[in-house]
Structure 1
Amino acid sequence: MVYRFRVILDAEEDVFRDIEILQDATLEDFHNTIIQAFGFDGTEMASFYLSDEEWNQGEEIHQFDMSGGDDSIRLMNETALDSVLSEDQTKLLYVYDFFNMWTFMVELAQIAEIEEGRDYPNLMFVHGQIPLNAPDKEFKAENEEDNEEDEFKDDYNIDDFDNFSFDENWN
């Protein structure tokens, strides 16, 4: 079987790629296909995350094992697409380059038959150009209040050193 995906850059402008890949390919194969489809050089680290219907980030599937022997982590090169995706579980998040946080929403759109004479993976459709810089992200805690003005509000005046509870000549 073939998995057909839409991979959408999390940005204001519509930038996406439709990709088909064999269901037994690994997430590492899919990672390589995504970076080629979007024109990245592949020198940065990446991870996939399981996702629910509201695109909440779940379990991480790592590109490299940096756990120091923790057997509970999952690796891209050991994880087949069909072991994490199905008709019921269709969404993944993909993050490329953790300094710039290129973030993509990956959705399994269709499970189809293999077409004779077609090479896989296959870039089916391209829409939009990737921007020069990763879109800015606004990171919020799950239960964070909408009123951000009060987030750092406290009773301290940063310029009033006399009322701090430490000796200014402490070293």
Structure 2
Amino acid sequence: MLFRIKLISDEVENFLREYLIEDDATFLDLNRVILTSCGYPDDQITSFYLCDEEWERKKQVTREDMSLDRGASYEEDIYVMETTRLNELIEEEDQKLEYVFDPFAERVFYLDVVEIVPAQHIGEPQVVRSIGKAPTQIEDLSAIDMPPKGAGVGVDEGLDDDFYGSESYNSDEFDPEGFEVSEDGR
């Protein structure tokens, strides 16, 4: 069987990719054809999310197993792209997925299984439709307003000038007897 999967972006108008991929291909195979068709390098920790009809994330398929203790039991199953086949998680047409292509800014593509084609074999995944230019994979972090190096970020240099009303402090009003500790600790 083949899956016909449509990919779109909410960032770029008139951008679309459509793929044919065998149902027993891995999510890593799908990851690679997406990266190649968009002209992205394969150097990010991308991930897929299977979503419900409302686009709510349900299951994650990660590039790498990021769990610290591989022997621990988890409430949720961990799916890794290299070992998870598409047909293990995709069971019907209209299955919705998100593909996180920019993990730093959580930017995603939206995928939809538009057709399941029975009894065909194509070998390698194919791009069957390509419209428009993909958005930049990683946002330019230098475009974000950052203070110059050495600037005290969020630090008020004059903070201790009048810290909690210290100008009105009068040492003659201080009663040290109120701060004495008795022998029995009370």
TM-score, normalised on structure 1? 0.71
Q: Which amino acid aligns with 2:30?
A: F
In the superposition, relative to structure 1, how do residues 3 and 76 fare at CA in structure 2: closer, same or farther (>3 Å)?
same
Stretches of structure 1 that go unaligned for 5 or more consecutive residues are 136-160
1:114-151 per-position Cα deviation (integer Å, ceiling 9, x unaligned): 556x553111001111234668xxxxxxxxxxxxxxxx
Q: Which amino acid aligns with 2:128?
A: M
Stretches of structure 2 that go unaligned for 5 or more consecutive residues are 140-158, 167-186
TM-score, normalised on structure 2? 0.66
Query: In the alignment, which residue of structure 1 is the partner of 2:115?
Result: 110
1:42-92 per-position Cα deviation (integer Å, ceiling 9, x unaligned): 111101011011111222111101202156311111111011112266111
In the superposition, relative to structure 1, how do residues 14 and 58 fare at CA in structure 2: closer, same or farther (>3 Å)?
farther
CA RMSD in angstroms, aligned pairs only = 3.1
Structure 1 residue corresponding to 2:128, chosen from 100, 124, 135: 124
Query: In the alignment, which residue of structure 1 is the partner of 2:36?
Result: 36
1:167 and 1:43 mapped to 2: Cα distance?
54
Q: Which amino acid aligns with 2:49?
A: Y
Residue 23 of structure 1 deviates from its aligned partner by 0.4
* Range with bigger deviation, 32-41 or 4-13: 4-13
User: Residue 9 of structure 1 contacts residue 102 of structure 1 at CA under 8 Å; is this kept in 2?
Assistant: no
Kindly tell me the number of residue pairs found equivalent between the two proteins.
145
Query: Hey, which bits of structure 1, 4+ residues long, moved more than 2 A?
Result: 113-116, 131-135, 165-168
Q: Rg: which structure is higher?
A: 2
**Percent of residue pairs identical:** 29
1:18-167 equivalent positions in 2, closer than 5 A: 18-68=18-68, 69=70, 70=72, 72-87=77-92, 90-113=95-118, 115=120, 118-132=122-136
Classify the secondary structure of the residue corresponding to 1:99. Answer: coil
